[in-house]
Amino acid sequence: MKHITAIVLFTLSAQGALACPHDLRGTWQSDREASMTFARENARLQPKTEAFLAALYGHMTLTFTRSEAHLVMPDIEVPVSGEGRPFVGFDQRTKYKVLFCNSTMLVWSGKMSFDSEPKASTLVFLDPNTFWVYAGGADPKVPDLHTREFFRRLK
């Protein structure tokens, strides 16, 4: 009887995971225009911070397969105190799992090599090909700017 109960519970939880309406598979590109529009309209940014974000947004790509996330941020130049400075990018792969999913959001977790433990990220979907992530707040090393970085699925 215990085995039957375990099988039923496993089957129900697996069906719940399959019921997620969001398909992450594919490549997603940071959307500079949407991210900066939100920042300018909703965050109180100093001009130097706004210039930094405008240079930063739009470069990162996220590629998801069924089990792996591949995050790529190329090396770029960003303004720091009015001068162009190198921003060292990264190319990271991690196994991931979906922790939660509903009609508007998906929470996934993975361990990046630059983190000591797995981190969870919440993606808020506007439509099947657009989501945003909250920029700041969760990591004490990153200032909480109350902005969003938008991503669009590449065709």
CATH code at 72?
2.40.128
Instruction: Please indicate, yes or no, if residue 18 is contained in any of the structural domains.
Output: no
Residue predicted with more confidence, 66 or 138: 66
Angle value at C-alpha 131, between 32 and 106, nearest 5 degrees? 145
Residue 9 has pLDDT above 50, yes or no: no
Instruction: Please indicate, yes or no, if residue 10 is contained in any of the structural domains.
Output: no
What per-residue confidence (pLDDT) applies to 91?
A: 95
- The boundaries of the domain holding residue 104 are 23-153
What per-residue confidence (pLDDT) applies to 117?
A: 85
What per-residue confidence (pLDDT) applies to 65?
A: 97
Residue 17 has pLDDT above 60, yes or no: no
- How many domains does one find in the chain? 1
The token duo for 152 is 């669009």
From residue 142, alpha-carbon distances to 19, 21, 44, 72, 152 in Å are 34, 31, 16, 19, 23
Instruction: Please indicate, yes or no, if residue 60 is contained in any of the structural domains.
Output: yes
Residue 25 has pLDDT above 90, yes or no: yes
pLDDT (mean) for 18-24 = 87
Q: Across the chain, what does the average pLDDT equal? A: 87
Max Cα–Cα distance, the chain, nearest Å: 70
pTM greater than the 0.85 cutoff: no
Instruction: Please indicate, yes or no, if residue 136 is contained in any of the structural domains.
Output: yes
Instruction: Please indicate, yes or no, if residue 16 is contained in any of the structural domains.
Output: no
pLDDT in tens, 65-124: 999 999 999 999 999 988 999 999 999 999 999 999 999 999 999 987 766 788 899 999
Instruction: Please indicate, yes or no, if residue 138 is contained in any of the structural domains.
Output: yes
Instruction: Please indicate, yes or no, if residue 113 is contained in any of the structural domains.
Output: yes
Instruction: Please indicate, yes or no, if residue 2 is contained in any of the structural domains.
Output: no
What per-residue confidence (pLDDT) applies to 19?
A: 80
